[in-house]
Structure 1
C-alpha cells in the first residue's frame, strides 16, 4: 500500500504548491484559512473526502482547511452536521423533527426569511404553495435536489395519487414546466423526511446569495464573553440557590411581539463543555444584574440546550448562558436574530461603596476585650505610640485566637492594613487605628463565616462577590475578575487573610479615588451612583468608565 502526500491541481513536474484560501466561521468571527494543494493519499487516491464522478478538488481542499482549524483530520469525526453548516455559512443552525413542523404554514414562515431549509443531505426546500383542489386547499413543496451524472430531472414525486389527482391538470402541468426542483405534497414531504435542518442567515451574511435578496432579513445582535471560574461560571439551574446568579446576564428588550432565535456557541473545540441557556421574563428593564433571590423565586420562561425559536410578546427578558457544572471555563458567542429591532444590554454592576468597610471602635470599649491588646501594643510601639507593618504582624500573631484568624497576619496583609489606615504617610498606625482594625476584623470574620458554607475557614470564590457586597463594596465583573485572579488559591478558595487583604485593597482604592482624584469628602458616605450624578455635572466624560478603569489599574499593580 502506497501512502503519502501528493500534489493536485498542477503539472507533475512543478514542485511549488498552490495556495488556496477559505473563509470559515470560527468562534464568532470569519477566519481566512490558507492551505496548499498537497493532499494525503493512499494507493494514489485521496485518503479522505473525494468526488466520485468528477475531478473537482475543492471539496478535499475545503476539508483540509477545516482540519487545519480543528488540529487534525481525526478531529473532524467528532463534528456534527449542524456545526458544519454553521462553520461554512456563518448562520445559526437548528434541527427540527418533522413532528415539530406541524403544518405547511410553519415552513412557509421560515422560507419568508433569509433561512435555508434542508431535508437530509441531498435536498433543499425552496418554495411552498397553496393549490386549490377539488377537495379544498392542498399544500405543495418544491425541493431542490442536485442531480448526479446521467440522472434525469423528475418534476414531481407522488406518494399519494388520490390527493395528487385532486389538483387540476393545469396546475400539475405548471409543476412540470418548472425546472428548479421537485414538487411534492406537503403530506408526502412529511412521510419522506423525518427531520429538517435550518440555517438562519443575518442581513450581512445573506448578501452573497442573490436568491435571498427579496427575503425578510434577520437582524442580529451578538455578544462574546466567557465563563470564568470564581467569577461568572455559576452552572445551570441545579445551582440556583448557590451560584446560578453569577452567570453572565444579557438583557433584551422587545418593543413589539416578534420571532426571536437565540444561538449559544462555545469556543472549546478539543474539550467541549455541556452548555445551555435560560430565559427569564422581567417586568421592566434593569440597569444592574438581577440578584440571587430573583432566580430562586421566578421560573424560567424558556430553557434550551443550543437554540430556541419562539414567538414572544413585547417585554424585557434576561438570557443566562451557562455551563452545566459550575467552574467550567470556556469562551462563548451568543447571537440573537429577530425580524424587528431589539435592544440588547449586558447587565453588570457599576462600582459602588455602599458603606464604610472599616468599623469604628466605640468611644467606650470593653476593658477586658482591649486591655490585653493595648499592653502588647504599647510594648511594641515607639515613643509616638505607633507601630509599623512588621510590629503589627507580631501583634496580630500574639493577639488573634487561632490559625484561622491568624491567616490575616501575613506581612503583605499587614502592609495593606497600614497603608489603608495611615492618614499621615508615616507608614505607622496608632492605638486608636488598631482598635478600629480589631472591630473591623470581628465584623469581617462574621461576614466571612456567613458565606463560608462548604468548609470552616475557607470561602469559595463564587461567594466572594456576595461577601464583598455585605462588607460594603459592589464591583463590576472586570474588577472582580482581577480580584479573583489575585486572591483565589489553587483550590478555588480564599482564606480569611486573602479576604481581609482584598477588603483593605478595595478600601484604599475607593478612598484614594474619592478623596484625592475626585476631591470629594468622605464624611458622608454615598453610593458611587450618587457621586456619578454630582460629578458628571462638572465633567464632560462619563465618570463610571473612568472609575472602573481606575479600579482595574489598581489591582493590576
Structure 2
C-alpha cells in the first residue's frame, strides 16, 4: 500500500433524483482537487468510486476475479510508470476479465486518430509532474462533453498484474485508467459487460454511427470501406453470436477493430484485403492471408515485407470475401455527416434538441390502427428543409440525417432497461404555420414517409433520408405508450429550420459545421476517379496543389525527385504507381507530420535544427538516437544542418518503412536475416 496520506473527493453536485428517470452527470473540480492534494502532500482517493467491490459490481464479473484482489497505484506496480507514450505502438492494449471487447474495439479505432484521442485522453498527465494520484478523462455524454475524475488505484492480482485492461508495455497505464473512468461513468466495471461498438464510438466522439448488415452481402462494400478509411472515421465489426473460439481463430459474438484495407497485386490479379485487430491482443484468424498463410508468396517481396507481420498481437489480414462470410455487422462512426452519403465540399446545419416522453402527456407510443391510438401525444418537431445553393424552389432531393438517442433511466449503464425506440417522418403542407401540435386526425389521414421497421433497444437509432425540399414532421417515440425516458434528437442537413410544436413552441436554432479538408477531399475524389493509379508526376501535382494550413506562409514545394522518392517508399508492388489506398495511408501520415513539424518550428522559419528534429521525430512515434539523428541531418538536411518539411516527410516515411520491415522480420526483437534479393529491394528501390 502507498505510504502517502490521501484526500477523498466530494461531489459538487450529486446525481439527480432517479424517480424522474433522468441522469445528471456529477461534476468534480479536477484542478481544485489536484491542487489540494499537492498542497497537503497526499494522494487523491475517490470516495464516489472507491477501491472496493462496490466499484466492480455485484454480478457475474465477481466470479472471474482472482482471489485476494488488491488495489494498487501505478508507481507501486512499476519503477518507471508512464501515463502515455508516443513511442509505443498504437495497438498496445489488451482486454482483461471484463467482457468489454466492444469498448476496447472502439478504443483501438480511436488510437488511429491522435487528435480525437487527445480530446478524450488529455495526454499531458503523468506520474511525475504534479502527480497527486488523480486523473481526468472526457466523454461525450448525451450532447455535452463531460469530465470524469478518478484516482489511479487499479485492481491487481497477488502478483501485481492488472485484472482489467492492460498494456503490452507494462509501464503504460492510460488504457487501464481510461477504462476505470468509463466504468465510473457507467456505474461500475460490471456495467461494462456486453455492449455495442457504436455506443462507445458515440461516447468517444459525439459522432454519428452507421451499421451495415454484412449478412445481406452488400455489393459496394469495398467502395464504402475505401471512402470511409480515406476520411475521418472509426470502424468496428462483430462476428456471429456465440461463445467459443472457432477453429479458424475467430471468436464468436466478439467485437473487432478494422484498422486498414489494402488492394494488393497477386500473380493471378488483384486481391482485396482488410486488416483487423482482436481486443484480446491475441487469438488471430488462421485462414487465407493470416500470418502463416501461403498466400503471401503471391506478392512482391517488398509488399510482403511491409504488410506481413508474424506476431501474435491480435492483428491480422483477411480477404474481403472471408470478411463478409464470417462477420455480421460493420459499424462506421462518422465525424462529419456528409461522409455518410460520400458528399464532399459542403457545409452542414446541425441541430440538437432534448425531449422527453412523459407518462400521461407525451409518452404516446408507436402508431396503431385502433381508435385508442395515442401516437399524436408524442413530441412533434416541424422541419423545413431545402438546398441552400438552389433556393427553396429546387425539386432536387436533400440529404437529411436523423439521429435519436435515449438517455439512461438509471444511475448505472444497463442496456436491459432501455426502451425500444424509433421515429416517424411525415410530409406536411408547406403553408402550415401553426405552432400547436398536430391532432390525432392528421395521423389518421396521412401515412408516414418513413417509419421504423423494427423498434430497437439501442442507445442510438439513426437513418439517412433523401427528401424533396419542403416541410416535414418528425415524431420520435418509444414502441409502447406510457414508457418514460428523456431523449436527444440530432439533425444534419444542408440547410433547415426546426420547430418544436406544442404549448412551449420554439425555434430550435442550428449551428453550421464545415467538413474538414472539404476542398482537398473533393479534389482527391475527382483526381482518383480519373487516375486510379498515379505516377510520380501526378503525385507531385497533388502534393503541390494542397494547402498546408499548419505551415502558414512557408508552403512546401515537392520536387519531382522528392515525389519519386516518396512513391518508391509507397509502391509496395513495384509497379511505379500508387493506388488510392496507398495514397490514403500517405495522406494520413502527412497530416501528422505537418502538425509535429509546425509544433517544433517555433521560429516559423520552415526549418528544423538537430534538437527540433529529434523532438519532432519522437512525437511522430519514431525513436532515433543522437548519432542517427545527426546522420539524418547530414543526409536529408541543408548546408546549415537544418531540414525543411519536404525532406522531413521523406525521412519520416523511410524511417517508418524501415522500422516496419524490422518488426516484421525480427523473431526476438534483436536482429533480422535478409536474403540478397530482399536486401537489394529494400536498399536500392526504396
Instruction: Return the TM-score normalized by structure 1.
Output: 0.50
State which structure, 1 or 2, has the greater radius of gyration over its C-alpha atoms.
1
Higher RCO, 1 vs 2 (CA within 8 Å, ≥6 residues apart) = 2
